[in-house]
Amino acid sequence: MAIETEAGTTQRPGGPDPVGTPGAGAWWARPALHTGVIGAIIGYAFGHWLGNYWAVPTANSPAAYQQIGTSDGNDFAIVLGYTFMLVGWLIGLGVFNDLVKLMLGKRLPQNGHEANGGVAKYFRFTLDHKVVGIQYLIGMIIYFCTAGLLAMGIRTELLSPVHHVFSSSVYVEIVGEHGTMMMMLMTSVILGPFGNYLIPLMIGSKRVAFPRIEALSFWLTPAAFLVLLSALPLGGFHFGWTGYPTLSVQDTSGADAYAFAFGLMGISMILASFNILVTVICYRAPGMRWGRLPMFVWGILGTGTMMALAAPILSGGMYMLLLDRTAQTAFFTDNLGGSTYLYEDLFWFFGHPEVYILALPGFAIVSELLPVFTRKPLFGYKVASAGMIGVTLLSFFVWQHHLFDSGIDPDMRPLYMLTTELISIPTGFIFLVGMGTLWKAKIRFTVPMLFCLAFYFNFLIGGISGVYLSDVPADTTEHGSFFVMAHFHYTIMGGLIFAFMGGCYYWLPKMMGISLNEKLGRVHFWLMFIAFNSTFLPLFAVGLAGQPRRVFEYARNLTTLNDWVSISSFFLGVSILIFIINFVWSTVVVRNRETGNPWKSRGLEWQVSSPPPADNFETVPVVLSGPYEYGVKDAPPVADLNPPVGVLAAGLSESETARAEA
């Protein structure tokens, strides 16, 4: 089967989508980041003016004016400003340019990969999944470092229980910004850069299913990031990252930024997950059976499923909260017929699957890397994939364990205690597969492998502490304490971020054709590993001693432990700084080129040059075997990258052969 292109040539299925190319003319006239910023500023100014203009007829008195917002201003104007800002941002980026051309009856050119676009292509709305992956990578590093600086502010304040750097209000604002930024933006820290860049390469596809949706999912994240930061000059928000009413309904205008940004990030997650799911299901190369999918693809598939089902609930809840604040609806106002408890259910129906949205990609990365550096097949491939499916399904049956102290019917507590403990079974399957792969292996202790081993150590501590918190008596005792905070930092940062770092050292030679400095990488690892455990392990003791979260004064007998934690956290920050220096030094200054396969991996993504060519593959490859047959005698190559047309490929079914010959 062939597709007729505009030039009269033919193209096989899986080739590039008909997409737009960058416009000609001066750089300042092309849609890019700078035009997006200009559009955002104009849009916000217009929306804010319009919101105030509409408010005037109903504001015959100061008291009447205040009814359309909280006590500090017109929330309707602020939210309308954010809405028009988003529209102006997307128009300025050129998101709608191709749509307008199609509506005018114009045909779009065939090339949109921007192989020779230089650095400028990373600042534009582009439809090349590899460029989008790099954009996500840089964006996520910026978001993570910003949230990390806020964390440094938190630990600076907690150096003393009586001498304060910030006021209590500012401290709570910093805590809320840090938590929201980490839990909101970091949901895509692996699916964004590695998922978008690598999934088509791993499944033998020339493209993603929906390039425009993929690019849009990224460009919504800078908007969400900036909107969230704008909460600080608006008075911040004082309810942590969870946004519980009635405080969030009555709080300052910074709560508008919180709800709008969180809801916007939910839309980004929906778009990203939809694109990834369709790509994996429909765009696999001939021979890429479900039993040959790399573990990273299985993990991203599960993550995309959770995002697609949970993120709409999050966005719906956030925009219902905005309506309560701006349009006087009463979704979450008890005395007007709403329910604050409804918000808690909506939030945690997303909020607990989100824990696995963060954890599952980490398991996917380490499961992908272990066979490479142990040079042996993955132990229990089917068990690991079944474990990931089990985590995906069970993640939607555990959310109410967050509500044990929130008025939940006591008869429901045993059910959610049981489901929470049950999810440790498929999680344990994945963990034990890793241990089985390490058993009697000849391990190569490269920098990526060190981060993988640290992942298992950290996640084990986080998992064991999580089993305690699934039990009602322990949870009700430690709820709201630093014990809970230490637990989820071990599972999320100790798992996700360590896996992310391992993925960076492993895949950056593929993604950017650049190798990071190994000596700096080892310094980064050891300092990060020691400082991380030195920071969060003592917090279990602090929590057991009764110190609550989000409070900047504490018992004086806990000063020594808090000082130890704060100083350790500063070293943890230094370790991240070393990574940034290594990244910038290796990619900008030294530029250690890597064009081959430095890890001798059997992964399909490593069978093409580094970085990959514009179309990924010259022709759609035929997959001949799984990616983990290391040390297997007479194991066939992972794929035939140039299959002869009309020849039956060995090992393919009749339907796969038909696809290969199409």
Q: What is the pLDDT of residue 648?
A: 45
**pLDDT band per the 50, 70, 90 thresholds, residue 659:** low
- Among candidates 279, 331, 336, which has minimal Cα distance to 304? 279
Helices (H) and strands (E) in the chain, counts: 22, 4
**So what's the pLDDT on residue 641?**
85
pLDDT one-digit tens code per residue, 463-491: 999 988 988 998 888 888 999 999 999 99
Cβ distance 569 to 155 under 8 Å?
yes
What mean pLDDT is predicted for residues 532-554? 94
Taking only the tens place, the pLDDT of each residue in 80-103 is 999 999 999 999 999 999 889 889
Report yes or no on whether pTM surpasses 0.95: no
Segment 288-317, tens digit of pLDDT = 999 999 999 999 999 999 999 999 999 999
HSE-up (13 A, CA, CB side) for residue 308: 16
User: pLDDT confidence of 333, banded at 50, 70, 90?
Assistant: confident
State yes or no: pLDDT of 257 exceeds 90.
yes
Query: Which of 113, 134, 290 is CA-nearest to residue 207?
Result: 113
How many C-beta neighbours within 10 Å does residue 383 have?
A: 16
Q: Which of 13-27, 515-529, 631-645 has the lowest mean pLDDT?
A: 13-27
For residue 471, the 8-state DSSP code is S
Q: What's the mean per-residue pLDDT of the chain?
A: 88
Sign, CA dihedral 649-653-654-655, equals: negative
Position 26 confidence tier, pLDDT thresholds 50, 70, 90 = low
Do 512 and 611 contact (CB within 8 A), yes or no?
A: yes
- Check residue 658 and give its pLDDT: 60
Sequential DSSP letters for 87-149: HHHHHHHTTTHHHHHHHTTPPPPS----TT-GGGGGGS----HHHHHHHHHHHHHHHHHHHHH
pLDDT of residue 109: 66
Provide, for the chain, the percentages of residues in helix, strand and coil under a 3-state DSSP scheme, each rounded to the nearest 5: 65, 0, 30
The dihedrals phi and psi of 459, each to the nearest 5 degrees, come to -70, -30
pLDDT beyond 70 at 222: yes
Strand partners, 622: 640
Distance CA(424)–CA(429), nearest Å, equals 9
pLDDT at 18: 39
CB 655 within 8 A of CB 402: no
Asked if 657 contacts 292 with a C-beta cutoff of 8 angstroms, the reply is: no
The pLDDT assigned to 405 comes to: 84
Peptide linkage before 246 cis (omega within 30 of 0): yes
Cα gap 190→589, rounded to integer Å: 26
The DSSP symbol for 629 reads -
**Residue 372 main-chain phi, psi, to 5 deg:** -65, -40
Q: What percent of the chain has pLDDT over 90?
A: 71
Query: Is pLDDT above 80 for 72?
Result: no
In this prediction, residues 498-520 reach a mean pLDDT of 94
Select the more confidently predicted residue: 37 or 589: 37
What is the maximal distance between C-alpha atoms in the chain?
Answer: 85
Please, which pLDDT band fits residue 60 given cuts at 50, 70 and 90? very low
**Statement: residue 652 has pLDDT above 80:** no
Residue 445 in 3-state DSSP?
A: coil
> Which of 57-71, 170-184, 200-214, 342-356 has the lowest average pLDDT?
57-71
User: Any bridge partners for residue 548, and if so which?
Assistant: 481
Sole residue written with tokens 């905005």 = 322
Residue 61: pLDDT above 50?
A: no
pLDDT at 110: 58
Q: Tell me the two tokens of residue 617.
A: 């593959």
Average pLDDT on 619-635 reads 90
How do strand 639-640 and strand 3-4 relate by DSSP bridges?
unpaired
Region class of 626: left (phi > 0), else alpha (psi between -120 and 50), else beta: beta
Q: What is the mean pLDDT of residues 208-217?
A: 95
Distance CA 170, CA 466 (A): 31
Rounded distance between C-alpha atoms, residue 460 and residue 464, angstroms: 6
- Tell me the residue type at 656: E
Before 16, cis peptide (omega within 30)? no
Estimate to the nearest angstrom the gap between the alpha carbon of 636 and the chain centroid.
Answer: 35
pLDDT band at residue 661 under the 50/70/90 scheme? low
Q: What is the rounded end-to-end Cα distance, in angstroms, of the chain? A: 5
Pick from 66-75, 177-186, 329-338, 631-640: least confident: 66-75
156's enclosing H/E stretch is helix 129-157
Mean pLDDT of the region 246-268: 94
Q: What CATH number should be reported for the domain whose range is 127-590?
A: 1.20.210.10
The alpha-helical segments, DSSP class H, found in 163-253 are 168-185, 196-203, 211-229, 247-250
Q: Could you give the 3-state DSSP secondary structure of residue 4?
A: strand
CA angle 274, 278, 281 (to 5 degrees): 140
pLDDT at 199: 97
CB-CB contact of 483 with 563 (8 Å): no
CA dihedral of residues 496, 195, 307, 385 (deg, nearest 10): -80
| Alpha carbons 84 and 183: distance in angstroms, whole number | 25
Query: Measuring CA to CA, which residue among 379, 383, 382, 387 is closest to residue 359?
Result: 387
pLDDT at 226: 96
Cα 237 from Cα 235, distance rounded (Å): 7
Q: Is the pLDDT of residue 532 over 70?
A: yes
Segments of the chain assigned to CATH 1.20.210.10:
127-590
Residue with tokens 């399957």: 429
pLDDT in tens, 581-608: 999 999 888 877 878 899 999 999 999 9
Residue 14 has pLDDT above 90, yes or no: no
Of 15-19, 62-66, 494-498, which gets the smallest average pLDDT?
A: 15-19
